[in-house]
Chain A
Amino acid sequence: MKRPFFLLLPTLLLCTGLTYSHAQGKYMTKTGQVSFFSATPIEDIEAKTQQVAAVLDFSTSQLAFSLPVKSFVFKRTLMQEHFNENYMESDKFPKATFSGRFVNFDAATLNTAGPHPVQVEGDLTLHGVTHHVQVPGSVELKGGQLLASATFPVASADYNIEIPLLVRSNIAKTVSVRVNLACAPVAGAVGAAAPPR
């Protein structure tokens, strides 16, 4: 009768151990959302993608994003075509990426409820051009998932995205980018499959 108890104890300890490790561990998604908005008096433009791959590693304070530029969906089919063909040149530069780290963020904060503000800095690569950026965001551990969000401006001129004269008044010089992620914990080592979403 003693044996089952002793077998149960390590299992319980293992579980708590893993739960604890999640708070400081690694979270990943392949279906994160990024949208951007361009607001001018003449026209508002919005585009959205749900194919953002992201990994946030609190044990090393690192994070990385990657998204296929062609996955952005616009209201107008023609806009989407122009976005890929002329502005982002998606055939030449198929991905937009970010690689950076959390600035002075104590992962233990995640164990308390509510969204926590974070500062993120790193390299944003768009249209083949890389810039070092600092972005404020927020992270929250909720229901076993890590929710992360951020809003930041991107100026198209910084990334050599040329806007023709005729539509210059329709497209904002600086667009607002919104990131929204719900990441699942990654159990095990680098490269392991994420648990089912």
Chain B
Amino acid sequence: MTRLYSASLFSGLLLAACTLAHPAQAQTDLLNDLEKQTADSTKREVVAATFKGTHIINAQSIETPGHGTLAFLIQHRFGTLNSGAYEFFGLDQAVLRLSFEYGLTDRLAIGVGRSSIEKTFDGFVKYKALQQTTGSRPTPVSVTLFASSAINTLKFNQVANMPERSTASRLDYAYQVLIARKFSPGLSVQLMPTLIHRNYVALDGMQNDVYSIGAGLRQKLTKRIALTADYFYLLPGYAADNYRNALGVGVDIETGGHVFQLHVTNAQGMTEKFFVPQTNGNFFDGDIYFGFTVARNFTIKSQLK
């Protein structure tokens, strides 16, 4: 009885082993099987390259340089187009902002800049709080938090009877929540609730806190050329009554190594404290500044291990 039981068990197991070793569907398309096994519909993937650069035109974009990357930015604005032939349509005048941005992590970046307007230094922190993802439970938008402070370093006491200004009175702050969505590989849109706080305002009635809502977009025309625009709407107040909303329109041209951004805008300053609350130019009267931004990236820490 025992012998018979063992023999049947043995042959049964042997049969099972043979079946296991030679699967019946061995001739089916291996690649399809592989794709089926690796297809993970719940896999979430971060949507990359919502914007080409860390700036759209005037505005910061949700992008940061990325871990271990140092970006050197040259931002330039010529004079207004309607300044006439004598000023060579603005090309005789120029203001500049040079800045460095460094990605401490893939999400966190810090930066410093120097604008020629009012000899202003600025420093900022940018953090990608939320990243747009694809997958079964996608995050619809990317959110980047931005905070910057700027200090005016003009010497005020060079003019007779003008007192020097205190450090506190030279400081301005900008806070932004940058919310962006890449709707398609070509189209990205960004919304930017903005608060500018100024410690010192020159005139009675001027707001210390200026609120604005900005919007920006990028539409690719070809793989390497894109149309860009950004706009800051000032919420009602002194700034809205006496200044204009900043508008920029431009193109991003990618050459492989770096991105050239060419644009026209009615704002001359290139930090938030200038273009949000004190844009003077009327875009449609020809108070248009031609400008460009060139970014060059340096790899400080290699991504490859």
Interface residues of A, Cβ cutoff 8 Å to B: 2-3, 6-7, 9-11, 13-14, 17-18, 20-21, 24-26, 28, 30, 46-48, 53-55, 57, 59-60, 62-66, 70, 73-78, 80-82, 84-86, 89, 91-92, 95, 97, 99, 164, 166-167, 170, 187-191
CB of B22 within 8 A of chain A? yes
For the complex, what is the distance from the CA of A53 to the CA of B20, rounded to whole Å? 22
B residues within 8 A CB of A60?
26-27, 30
Provide a sorted-by-A list of 23 A–B residue pairs whose CB atoms are within 8 angstroms: A10-B14, A14-B13, A14-B14, A14-B17, A18-B17, A21-B21, A21-B22, A53-B37, A55-B30, A57-B26, A70-B48, A77-B65, A77-B68, A78-B69, A80-B303, A85-B185, A99-B30, A164-B255, A187-B20, A188-B23, A189-B24, A189-B25, A191-B36
Chain B residue nearest to A86 in the complex (CB): B223
A residues within 8 A CB of B66?
77-78
Cross-chain pair count, CB within 8 angstroms: 150
Chain-A contact segment, one of B2-10, B88-96, B150-158? B2-10
B65 engages A167 (CB within 8 Å)? no
A9 engages B31 (CB within 8 Å)? no
Which of B10, B68, B297 is the one whose CB lies under 8 Å from A6? B10
A77 engages B67 (CB within 8 Å)? yes
B28 engages A170 (CB within 8 Å)? no
Which of A10, A21, A70, A187 is the one whose CB lies under 8 Å from B13? A10
Q: Is the interface of A mostly helix, strand, loop or mixed?
A: mixed
For the complex, what is the distance from the CA of A47 to the CA of B303, rounded to whole Å? 10
A residues within 8 A CB of B33?
55, 64, 190-191
A74 to chain B, nearest CB (A): 6
Q: Mark B67-78, 1 if CB is under 8 A from A, else 0.
A: 111000000000
A76 engages B69 (CB within 8 Å)? yes
CB of B257 within 8 A of chain A? yes
B297 engages A64 (CB within 8 Å)? no
B126 to chain A, nearest CB (A): 15
CB of B38 within 8 A of chain A? yes
B224 engages A164 (CB within 8 Å)? yes
B residues within 8 A CB of A95?
35
CB of B302 within 8 A of chain A? yes
A residues within 8 A CB of B13?
10-11, 13-14
Q: How many residues of B contact A (CB 8 A)?
A: 50
B residues within 8 A CB of A75?
299, 302-304
CB of B202 within 8 A of chain A? no
B residues within 8 A CB of A85?
48-49, 185, 223
Which of A13, A65, A66, A89 is the one whose CB lies under 8 Å from B10? A13
Which of B3, B24, B38, B49 is the one whose CB lies under 8 Å from A81? B49
A31 to chain B, nearest CB (A): 11
For the complex, what is the distance from the CA of A170 to the CA of B256, rounded to whole Å? 10
B297 engages A77 (CB within 8 Å)? yes
The listed residue with most B CB atoms (<10 A of its CB), out of A10, A75, A99, is A10
B residues within 8 A CB of A26?
23
CB of B34 within 8 A of chain A? yes
For the complex, what is the distance from the CA of A42 to the CA of B256, rounded to whole Å? 14
Additional A-B contact list (14), CB under 8 Å, known A17-B18, A97-B31:
A7-B9, A10-B9, A11-B13, A26-B23, A55-B34, A73-B303, A75-B302, A76-B69, A77-B103, A78-B297, A164-B224, A166-B257, A170-B256, A189-B20
A residues within 8 A CB of B25?
189-190
For the complex, what is the distance from the CA of A1 to the CA of B8, rounded to whole Å? 19
Chain A residue nearest to B68 in the complex (CB): A77
B17 to chain A, nearest CB (A): 4
A residues within 8 A CB of B164?
none
A20 to chain B, nearest CB (A): 8
For the complex, what is the distance from the CA of A14 to the CA of B69, rounded to whole Å? 56
For the complex, what is the distance from the CA of A23 to the CA of B263, rounded to whole Å? 64
For the complex, what is the distance from the CA of A95 to the CA of B56, rounded to whole Å? 31
CB of B45 within 8 A of chain A? yes
B38 engages A53 (CB within 8 Å)? yes
A residues within 8 A CB of B22?
21, 59
A4 to chain B, nearest CB (A): 10
A86 with B9, Cβ < 8 A, contacts A64-B30, A75-B304, A76-B69 known: no
The listed residue with most A CB atoms (<10 A of its CB), out of B22, B25, B30, B48, is B30
A residues within 8 A CB of B118?
none
B23 engages A189 (CB within 8 Å)? yes
A residues within 8 A CB of B21?
17-18, 20-21, 24-25
A81 with B17, Cβ < 8 A, contacts A7-B9, A190-B23 known: no
